């Protein structure tokens, strides 16, 4: 693996290998690059979870992190993404993690940048390490993916997670359905059978994966209050009581409490929301290791 841009680029073999490595790290496994290694985490959008998770993963692997603050950089003087990444390449970064508001920002970099790139989220595109941590969390729980039903619920169209998870989960043998406000889905999509209503989704699934209402990305929630969303499409206490016995709740966070999910459920027994974050460190360690072993410059 040279870069990690999209979960779709990974073969089933590669995914399984990464999950195996993540498990190794989750059990306290250790791996350190042979020589001093520098990473730079270039976040062009605010982030706590993904950025800090990479910070910790890198430090656990003994990697030096070069600080980067987009708001206090030459980006404010108009420097392009390419020029900025190239700069870090030439001053010694061995690997870079990038989050950027533009879909497929990496198209301007691949083939021209000589250090590996890990996509930390591109616009409304992909977020492959989030997908991997979701897969790892599901595997940890159920031992595999075969015949599991996974419901992804919420704002699918603006979600980096929804499409990439659907692809990967299907490839691994799970059955994925979607739910959420009908008006957020294409008419054509509603008739595919992939769309089910919220109550069926909650009752029949092994994994109820809620997505974040991204108020910072769009405004179509304005017609519906938070309370209304919660009652109609959120995981209320009442809906949770109808979930299958061993089913689990997931959410990429940050959570809008009492919107996508009732406050009391965030840390409920069947919630894996904080477990997902914990697992984020292990899958990122796995990705960093695999890329540095094969693609380091």
**Residue set of the binding site for L-aspartate:** 77, 160, 212
Binding of residue 56 to a copy of itself (CB under 8 A): yes
Is residue 276 within 8 Å of residue 135, measured between CB atoms?
no
Q: List binders of a copy of itself among 90-109 (CB under 8 A).
A: 90-92
Binding letters toward a copy of itself, positions 16-55, x by CB under 8 A: --------------------x-x-x--x--xxxx--xx-x
Which of 69, 143, 222, 269 binds a copy of itself (CB under 8 A)? It is 69
Residue 72 interacts with a copy of itself (CB under 8 A): yes or no: yes
CB of 200 to a copy of itself, least distance (A): 30
Token pair 């420097």 is at which residue?
Answer: 79
Applying CB under 8 A, among 102, 171, 244, 257 the residue interacting with a copy of itself is: 257
Contacts with a copy of itself by CB under 8 A: the residue count is: 52
CA pair distance 216, 2, nearest whole angstrom: 32
Least separation in angstroms between residue 250's CB and a copy of itself is: 14
* Spatial distance between the Cα atoms of 238 and 235, rounded to a whole number of angstroms: 8
Spatial neighbors of 69 by CB under 8 A, at least 6 apart, are none
232-251 residues in contact with a copy of itself (CB under 8 A) are none
How far apart, in whole angstroms, are the C-alpha atoms of residue 149 and residue 173? 10
Q: Which is nearer to a copy of itself, 101 or 274 (CB)?
A: 274
- Give Cα separations from 249 to 85, 235, 273 (angstroms): 37, 9, 7
| Alpha-carbon gap, residue 248 to 147, rounded angstroms | 15
CA-to-CA separations, 61 to 35, 68, 178, in angstroms, rounded = 11, 19, 37
The residues in 171-230 that bind a copy of itself, with binding defined as CB under 8 A, are 215-216
Do 288 and 262 touch, CB atoms closer than 8 A? no
Q: Binding residues for a copy of itself, per CB under 8 A?
A: 36, 38, 40, 43, 46-49, 52-53, 55-56, 59-60, 64-80, 83-84, 86-88, 90-92, 215-216, 253-257, 274-275, 277-278, 280-281
């Amino acid at each position: 693996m040279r870069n990690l841009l999209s979960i779709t680029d990974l073969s089933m073999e590669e995914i399984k290998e990464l999950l195996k490595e993540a498990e190794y790290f989750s059990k306290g496994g250790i791996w350190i690059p042979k020589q001093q290694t520098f990473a730079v985490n270039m976040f062009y959008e605010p982030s706590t979870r993904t950025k800090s998770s990479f910070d910790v993963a890198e430090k656990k692997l003994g990697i030096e992190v070069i600080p980067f603050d987009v708001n206090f950089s030459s980006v404010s003087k108009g420097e392009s993404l390419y020029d900025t990444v190239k700069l870090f390449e030439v001053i010694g970064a061995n690997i870079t993690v990038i989050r950027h508001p533009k879909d497929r920002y990496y198209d301007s970099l691949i083939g021209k940048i000589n250090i590996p790139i890990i996509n930390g989220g591109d616009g409304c595109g992909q977020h492959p390490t989030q997908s991997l941590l979701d897969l790892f969390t599901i595997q940890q729980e159920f031992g595999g993916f075969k015949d599991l039903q996974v419901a992804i619920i919420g704002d699918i169209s603006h979600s980096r997670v929804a499409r990439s998870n659907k692809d990967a989960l299907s490839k691994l043998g799970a059955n994925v359905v979607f739910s959420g406000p009908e008006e957020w889905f294409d008419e054509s999509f509603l008739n595919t059978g992939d769309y089910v209503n919220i109550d069926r989704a909650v009752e029949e699934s092994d994994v109820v994966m809620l997505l974040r209402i991204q108020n910072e990305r769009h405004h179509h929630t304005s017609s519906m209050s938070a309370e209304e969303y919660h009652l109609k499409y959120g995981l209320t206490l009442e809906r949770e009581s109808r979930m299958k016995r061993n089913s689990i709740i997931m959410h990429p966070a940050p959570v809008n409490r009492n919107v996508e999910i009732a406050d009391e459920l965030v840390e409920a027994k069947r919630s894996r929301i904080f477990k997902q974050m914990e697992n984020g460190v292990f899958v990122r360690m796995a990705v960093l290791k695999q890329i540095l072993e094969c693609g380091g410059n």
